[in-house]
Amino acid sequence: MGGGLALDAALMAPELVAGLVLISPAVSGDTRFELDPDTSRFELLLDEAIEKQNLEEVNRLETWLWLDGPGQPEGRVGDPVRSLVMEMNEIILRNNAEEEAGASGLDAWDRIGEVRAPTTVVCGDLDVPFFVKRSREIAERLPSGRFMEMKGVAHLPQMENPALVADLVKEACLRTAR
């Protein structure tokens, strides 16, 4: 949820934000959420695992959804990345943090046009289709936004291809410095 927090920060303290790189960002105040058939399948399976308090199954399903992508076979991304994602997600699940914990209460969706910092919005082409669509829309609505789709990755490109993400951040920093 770092992208959403970064957008909120850019609205709350614009003088402190020189530029942004947002990866499949959540956006505070955006209540729309369209589920495609593949993602809907995960919603049902996750609801069932949560109801049974089966954290191991929740972790497995969330890793499949976010790391592999909802329309991809489980295990598309293997070890060591898969093990690391599962380990990190297990910590989150065991801490039982509320999804909205730490939320700013801001409605960035309706104020997105106020973000003046140059912004690169990145999304993997294997991500949840709604996130791909929303990422494009965010870039279009930002005064200095641009969209980049990363081929062959899902919701966690920083895990699948950290060098490419680092290059994007470096490029954004150089653009901001000009």
Every domain of the chain and the residues it spans: 2-31+104-177, 37-95
pTM of the predicted protein model: 0.88
Q: Tell me, what's the pLDDT at 162? A: 93
- In a structure prediction context, what are the per-residue pLDDT tens digits for the chain, which is 178 residues long? 788 899 999 999 999 999 999 999 988 888 777 889 999 999 999 999 999 999 999 999 999 999 999 999 999 999 999 999 999 999 999 998 776 666 677 889 999 999 999 999 999 999 999 999 999 999 999 999 999 999 999 999 999 999 999 998 898 888 777 6
| Max Cα–Cα distance, the chain, nearest Å | 54
Amino acid residing at 100? E
Q: Are the C-beta atoms of residues 93 and 55 closer than 8 Å to each other?
A: yes
Question: So what's the pLDDT on residue 174?
Answer: 84
Evaluate whether 110 touches 29 at the Cβ level (below 8 Å). yes
Domain 2-31+104-177 has CATH 3.40.50.1820: yes
